[in-house]
Amino acid sequence: MKIHEYQAKEIFAKYGVPIPAGRVATTPSEVETVAREVGKAVVVKAQVHVGGRGKAGGIKVGKTPEEARQVSEKIIGMDIKGLKVEQVLVEEAADIKEEYYIGITTDRAARRNIVMVSAAGGIDIEEVAVSDPEKIAKLHIDPAIGLQDFQIRQLAFDAKLPPAAVKGIGPFMKALSRVYSDYDCSLAEINPLVLTGDGTLIAADAKINIDDNALFRHKELAQYQAAQEDDPIEAEAHKRGLTYVRLDGDIGIIGNGAGLVMTTLDVVQREGGRPANFLDIGGGAKAEVVRLAVDTVLLDPNVKGIFFNIFGGITRGDEVAKGLLEAMSDLETQVPIVVRLTGTRAEEGLALLEGSALTPASTMQEGARKIVDLVKAA
Ligand code: GDP
Ligand code: MN
């Protein structure tokens, strides 16, 4: 899960990291109010889940509250890489002398977390990694002992940071490392870490990605998740506890098991169809889950047909069939539905479906062909 810059800064602030004074706003007049509260030149920053906001015109300085309001009128509502800007962070503009990069991510090959420090901060660190890899100092963290002071000094020297920065960077690195492990991050970075005109360091940007598999340990972040989902159907599906990803085709896909569903997407594609979604109802799904799944897929107005592909192991074919029949009577949907049931209690399931409007299929390929034909004919 990605969280916004202002949310990441709230977290870093709890760990003692200095961040510019300010807060988030959603309208130009609110921006002006915040700028007045700050009482100095401010920077207005688009809050969207992509990098490179600066280059895209999503970050602008306002020297006066009026100017802040004016620049925010351009930023609020603008489109950055397909995402609409609904919120901006308004905060005291930093007096930037130099910009550095500090970050931690997981190095899967090394099976360790890796810390990175660079004097070439501010811009895209991925570009630096390609063009000047030697400009990024790196070090793996031993999980048993954590990030040590001598390692922080080593990284700062290797990155050729100036003495003022070497002196001040310790608390930032420690906070970064603690945030990374406390929040089960897959990425935590401060870019730029700014050296100001008076020689102090401040976090001008902050980014945190949290491992979705650990979200159950961070209930307090649920509010961030609700606010960050851009697709309303995905948001609704997750509220219903379904693993759903929206795609841009017109054939709804429902199956049990991520691998089976992904294969189904491929097979439908190969038969000339375009999947509208990925939906995995998981193992052992009961009738109610099946009904919810159909209902969710149909929230997408592009859906012209549904292909149900169930391989019964712990999922029982008769349960799936019951759910489908309930869904059909509840939802009064007209779209064609093709069902392939195999495995545990598949015969019982298919018997239940007999006489209904559902189209049975005995293999995945046959089912894919049938739904593609039905949708084309519709
Ligand atoms: P990103 O492009 O999405 O990573 O957004 P950042 O927050 O990193 O900002 C990009 C660039 O905008 C920074 O590297 C700075 O050069 C500039 N910038 C950000 N905040 C300020 C600020 O407070 N004052 C000034 N002058 N420039 C800023
Ligand atoms: Mn940045």
* Angle formed at CA 53 by CA 51 and CA 58, multiple of 5 degrees: 160
Identity (one letter) of the amino acid at 348? E
Q: What is the pLDDT of residues 246-283, one digit of tens each?
A: 999 999 999 999 999 999 999 999 999 999 999 999 87
Give kind and range of the element (H or E) at residue 164.
helix 163-182
Residues 6+ away with beta carbon under 8 Å from 23: 6, 34, 89, 90, 91
The pocket of ion ligand 2, defined by CB under 5 A, consists of 191, 205
Q: What are phi and psi of 108, to 5 degrees?
A: -60, -40
Cα(150) to centroid of ligand 2, in Å? 27
Ligand 1 atom at minimum distance from 43 CA: 23
Atom of ligand 1 nearest to the CA of 56: 2
Band of residue 107 on the pLDDT scale cut at 50, 70, 90: very high
pLDDT of residue 316: 87
Q: What is the mean pLDDT of residues 346-363?
A: 91
Structure tokens at 224: 């961030």
Q: What is the pLDDT of residues 144-191, one digit of tens each?
A: 999 999 999 999 999 999 999 999 999 999 999 999 999 999 999 999
Banded pLDDT at 378 (limits 50, 70, 90):
confident
Q: What is the pLDDT, as a whole number, of residue 226?
A: 61
Distance separating alpha carbons of residues 303 and 290, to the nearest angstrom:
17
What is the pTM for the complete model shown?
A: 0.72
Q: Is the pLDDT of residue 223 over 80?
A: no
Atom of ligand 1 nearest to the CA of 123: 14
Do 117 and 100 meet the contact criterion of CB atoms below 8 Å apart?
yes
Average pLDDT, whole number, for the chain? 93
What SS3 state is found at 208?
strand
| pLDDT-derived band at 229, boundaries 50, 70, 90 | low
Q: Which amino acid is at 166?
A: V
Q: Is the pLDDT of residue 307 over 80?
A: yes
pLDDT of residue 135: 94
Among 4, 5, 59, the mutation site with the greatest number of ligand 1 atoms within 8 A of its Cβ is 59
211 phi, psi to nearest 5 deg: -60, 120
Rounded to the nearest whole angstrom, what is the distance from the C-alpha of residue 43 to the centroid of ligand 1? 8
Rounded to an integer, what distance in angstroms lies between the CA atom of residue 262 and that of residue 318?
23
- Residues 6+ away with beta carbon under 8 Å from 354: none
Which pLDDT value is given to residue 33?
98
- pLDDT-derived band at 227 (thresholds 50, 70, 90) equals low
The active-site residue out of 99, 189, 271, 319 is 189
Residues 6+ apart with CB under 8 A from 19: 9, 12, 13, 91, 202, 203, 206
Residue 220 is among the residues annotated as catalytic for this protein? no
Asked about 244 being catalytic, the answer comes back as: no
Rounded distance from Cα 96 to ligand 1 centre (Å): 9
Q: Which amino acid is at 54?
A: G
Distance 210 CA to ligand 2 centre (A): 17
